[in-house]
Structure formats: C-alpha cells, structure tokens
Amino acid sequence: MAIHARGAPPGGTPERAWAVWLLYFTAALRSTLPPLIDSLAFSRHGRSYVGRCCRQRGAGGPPGTHAAASRGLEPAGSTRWAGACLVMAELRQNIATHEWVIIADGRAERPTVYAEAGRQPTVDRATWEPGCAFCPGNEEDALEVSRSPGERWRTRLVRNKFPALAVDGALLRRYEGVERRLSGVGYHEVLVAHRHHDTTLALMTAREVRNVLLALQKRGRELAQDERVEYLVYFKNHGPRAGASVAHPHCQLISLPVVPGEVRRRLETATHYFDEHGCCVYCFMLDGEQSQQQRVVGQHPLAAAFVLFAAQSPFHVWVMPRHHRASFLEATREELAGVAEVLRQVLRQLYDGLHDPDFNLMIRSVPVRERAWAYFHWYVSIVPRFSRTAGFEMGSGIRICPAIPEECAEFLRSVPAPTRG
Ligand SMILES: [Zn+2]
Ligand SMILES: [Zn+2]
C-alpha cells in the first residue's frame, strides 16, 4: 500500500515502517507529555493541583523503577498494577468503547485531594426555597406533564422552560450539498426527583432512587411511542461544574430524532466485539471486574459498580445490572431496585468521602427501536467533574485522568456505606 511505501525506509518492509513510526510516536509522547500535563494544572478553592510524583508522597519504590517500568508491557498478573501507584504515565483503553485515557502519574494525587473543601453541601440547604420553581407550592402548572403518585407528589415531570428541542412539528429532512438539516423536534423534560430542596440521590432512600429510575423508564416508554423519537438521553447534572443551574434535585430527559454519532460508534464497537468473541463486551467487563475485585465498589445480587480501568476522570464509575439487557426501557422493577441500591450507595460514598462533589450521571441504553440487542448492555455512568475539557481532549478525544483508578476504588470502599433501605 502506498502509505506503507511512503513510511518505509529504503528497502524496508511495511512492518518496519510501522515499527519506525511507533518509535517516533513513543519518543514524541515522552517529550510532549510532561509539559502537556503541566498545562492542565488547575486550582480549586485556592489550592494548586500541580502533580506530585508518587514517590514524593511516600509510596516508595526502588531506584530505577521508572526506567525499568518503561521497558515494556508487564506480564499478565503483574502486581505492579495492583493498586499502590503507577511509576509512569500510562495509556489505558476501555475495551467497550475503545476510548483511550492517560492515567498521568506525574499528577497522580491521593484521592482525598478531590474532597470539595469549603463548599456548602446539599444537606445544609433549606428544605424549601421560596424562589425555587421545583419546590412544592411553587409549581408552574403550565409546564407540568404529570405528578406521581398524586396531588401530593413524590416525583413530578415538567417540560423544560428553555427546551433544546420543540415538541410540535413534523420531522423534516433537507439534505442539500454540504448542508444536512433535520427539524429540531423532540422532548426536553425535567423529572423533579424529590419534594425536598435539600436532598440529592446520595441522600435519598434506595426506594426513592428506584422510584426516580422507574419514573424515567415510564416516561421513556411513553416517548418511545412517538415515531419521531430515535434516541433518549437520560442524565443528571449535579453542581455548577457539571452544568446544573437549578439546585433542587432533578434529572433530565431529552429525545432525539437521530442516533448520535458517539452512540452509534459505541454500538458498532460493541457489535464488533460480539462478532469477534461471541459475547457482550459489557458482560465480559463486569465478569472481569467481579473476579479481579480491584476496582469493584458496589455489590448487589442484581447489580454491581466499579471504577473504570480506563477512567476518564477520578472516580469515574459504572453501575451495571448483572442481567444482560440492552435497553433501560426493558429492565424489570427488581433490576431497577438493584441498580438503585448500588447507585445510591456509591453516590453516598462519593458525597461523604469527597464532600458532595459535582458530577454528571448518564443512563446509557440502545436506540429505542433496537431493544433486543445481544451486543449492548445498559448501565449508569457517574463522571465526577474536577476539571474542564481543554484543547488536548478536544483535539485528541483522549482524557487525562490525574488519579489512579485502583486507588480511587480503594478510597471509595473505605468510606462507610449507608445502611440499606
Ligand atoms: Zn427547590
Ligand atoms: Zn451484557
């Protein structure tokens, strides 16, 4: 192939050309990574988050460990990755999404530095705020879709006051040359998750969290009947760094008339894995995490939670039902109860251990018309927000995680779990 011939040295083979490119890439990475990581230094609450080597924080390690570690891949079962510290920056790939991350040792901090010192935690808010449109008594009836279970509601569904998409209108497509348009029709709704202003999923009972999931699922099933709906995005923004503009506990639901490219890519990756290995990559991940236990942070007969091996941010957690099911809309009441139990436990440990950090939560599921897939597996993703996306991430699609996932899992497990119920 021409590209090989161009890259090959005189008389070289395509394989040699690739090897040369790999060497160039490795050398370039080694020279650019440290300043690149330095450029990501940020501060919170007046504290500078400039990285410290794990040796500086007392983890120890024999002289020359860094050099030894850089010589090649560790054999399977090596204890070097067994949780203490990394001795060099490491690229890790999520096998389900094919996304790469950089676990940056130079910035690797003890998990406790992510505790949100000095902020007012949710529990210290007033139970009722006179100016909050989501508090009981302040309801804007014109926006209300439904309330459950009745007049004295526990959850309430309302249309977003400033929707991203319009409910009314036909789905029109217009493709002209480079211009590809689709009318912006869809639903943008808010689920008010509790009557109280001073609570959040972490502070609710497992039953209340289950009711939130049930309410999202119920509405998702209704919206899936609309033939203009192709995909449903369920999410929660908690805290200003996560994009939340309203403090009252709530989740959002947006329907789309298309399947987003990023979702399509994940589905294709999962399909490819199934074709290659004959099993669901998410079931495989769950089994692997379960047998290894290193990153598992929550257990239930019907669900489990683990910090991702290739975490995109410190404490990036997936909560996954054990039963293979592609669609959130198909999950049983019992499965949702299991996921709710683990979800609430992990969120509570994040809340207690890191002083109520900002986070985004997403329910990932298949497109509404592709429910019976063997390839995909619905789950909940929790992404705490400690830094902002910058040019490197936008340019490469690669996130830099300045904390070691195994240490984050260990820290979370050390925070007392809430009592069940
Ligand atoms: Zn409120
Ligand atoms: Zn599965």
- Ligand nearest to the CA of residue 282, numbered in listed order: 2
pLDDT level of residue 230 (50, 70, 90 thresholds)? very high
Which of 409, 365, 339, 362 lies closest to 238 in space, CA to CA?
362
- Ligand nearest to the CA of residue 287, numbered in listed order: 2
Spatial separation of the C-alpha atoms in residues 396 and 196, rounded to whole Å = 42
- Ligand nearest to the CA of residue 192, numbered in listed order: 1
Residue 199 makes CB contacts below 8 A (sequence gap 6+) with: 122, 123, 249
- Ligand nearest to the CA of residue 322, numbered in listed order: 2
- Ligand nearest to the CA of residue 277, numbered in listed order: 2
- Ligand nearest to the CA of residue 129, numbered in listed order: 1
Which residue range is the domain that position 131 belongs to?
123-256
pLDDT tens digits, one per residue of 323-362: 999 999 999 999 999 999 999 999 999 999 999 999 999 9
Compute the distance from residue 280 Cα to the ligand 2 centre, in Å. Answer: 5
Contact 412, 299 (CB under 8 A): no
Please report the pLDDT score of residue 300 as a whole number. Answer: 97
Quote the number of domains for the chain: 1
Compute the distance from residue 321 Cα to the ligand 2 centre, in Å. Answer: 9
Please report the pLDDT score of residue 4 as a whole number. Answer: 38
Compute the distance from residue 193 Cα to the ligand 1 centre, in Å. Answer: 10
Compute the distance from residue 400 Cα to the ligand 2 centre, in Å. Answer: 28
Pairing of strands 303-307, 296-300: antiparallel
Please report the pLDDT score of residue 103 as a whole number. Answer: 92
Spatial separation of the C-alpha atoms in residues 232 and 258, rounded to whole Å = 10
Compute the distance from residue 168 Cα to the ligand 1 centre, in Å. Answer: 29
- Say if 247 falls within a structural domain: yes
- Say if 66 falls within a structural domain: no
- Rounded to an integer, the average pLDDT of 87-109 is 85
At 210, phi and psi to the nearest 5?
A: -60, -40
Helix (H) or strand (E) holding 277, with range, is helix 261-277
- Say if 375 falls within a structural domain: no
pLDDT tens digits, one per residue of 196-229: 999 999 999 999 999 999 999 999 999 999 999 9
At 349, phi and psi to the nearest 5?
A: -70, -35
* Cα atoms in the Cβ-side hemisphere of radius 13 Å centred on 9: 5
Work out the mean pLDDT of the chain and round it to a whole number.
Answer: 82
**Local structure of 328: helix, strand or coil:** helix
What CATH code is carried by the domain that includes residue 157?
Answer: 3.30.428.10
- Rounded to an integer, the average pLDDT of 128-157 is 94
- Ligand nearest to the CA of residue 279, numbered in listed order: 2
Contact 304, 296 (CB under 8 A): yes
pLDDT at 67 over 60: no
- Two tokens, residue 22: 């790999």
Compute the distance from residue 235 Cα to the ligand 2 centre, in Å. Answer: 21
- Ligand nearest to the CA of residue 249, numbered in listed order: 1
Compute the distance from residue 304 Cα to the ligand 1 centre, in Å. Answer: 31
- Ligand nearest to the CA of residue 194, numbered in listed order: 1
Which of 120, 132, 119 lies closest to 194 in space, CA to CA?
132
pLDDT above 70: percentage of residues in the chain: 78
Residues with CB under 5 A from ligand 2 (ion): 280, 282-283, 324, 377
- Say if 346 falls within a structural domain: no
pLDDT level of residue 6 (50, 70, 90 thresholds)? very low
Compute the distance from residue 379 Cα to the ligand 2 centre, in Å. Answer: 10
- Say if 182 falls within a structural domain: yes
pLDDT at 78 over 60: no
Q: Can you say whether residue 200 is alpha, beta or left, with left for phi > 0 and alpha for psi between -120 and 50 degrees?
A: beta
Residue 369 makes CB contacts below 8 A (sequence gap 6+) with: 224, 230
- Say if 364 falls within a structural domain: no
Please report the pLDDT score of residue 112 as a whole number. Answer: 78
pLDDT tens digits, one per residue of 160-187: 999 999 999 999 999 999 999 999 999 9
pLDDT above 90: percentage of residues in the chain: 67
pLDDT at 371 over 60: yes
Compute the distance from residue 327 Cα to the ligand 2 centre, in Å. Answer: 11
Ordered strands of the 231-238 beta sheet: 144-148, 155-159, 188-192, 250-256, 231-238, 359-364, 379-384, 317-321, 303-307, 296-300
Segment among 19-23, 93-97, 353-357, 380-384 with least mean pLDDT: 19-23
- Ligand nearest to the CA of residue 196, numbered in listed order: 1
- Say if 353 falls within a structural domain: no
- Say if 396 falls within a structural domain: no
Compute the distance from residue 377 Cα to the ligand 2 centre, in Å. Answer: 5
Spatial separation of the C-alpha atoms in residues 298 and 80, rounded to whole Å = 24
- Ligand nearest to the CA of residue 156, numbered in listed order: 1
